[in-house]
Amino acid sequence: MAAFEERGRLARLLNAFADRASQDIQLLLGSENPYLDGWPLATAVRTVGLGPAGYVTFALVGPLRMDYSRVMGGLRWWSRQIQRRQGGS
């Protein structure tokens, strides 16, 4: 997809929402995402702290018409798996 041809665009997207997505999933619909403005896409982002190692950010970009509860449930599941392996809650 043309929106991701520039690698820096994806990095800016993940970094911009990492802090806000650390508590729960950040969901951006359509033009709410300034990095993909003009594309009819939804973006779900979740960041999990890894302690001194930094953090990992999961992001899913898909069509506006998708099963949001399933996407958010999947991101929460992955987050719990990472936290469990890190010895977190």
Rounded CA-CA distance 52/50 in Å is 6
Give the bridge partners for 4, in sequence order.
none
Say which residue, 19 or 82, is predicted with more confidence: 82
Contacts of 85 (CB under 8 A, 6+ apart): none
**Closest-CA residue to 30 (of 68, 63, 67, 71):** 63
The mean pLDDT value for 66-89 works out to 84
pLDDT score for 29: 87
* pLDDT value at residue 52: 82
Averaged over 74-79, what is the pLDDT? 89
- Number of structural domains (the chain) is 1
User: Residues 38-75: pLDDT tens digits?
Assistant: 788 898 888 888 878 777 888 888 899 889 999 999 99
Domain enclosing residue 26, as ranges: 2-86
Over the chain, what is the mean pLDDT?
Answer: 78
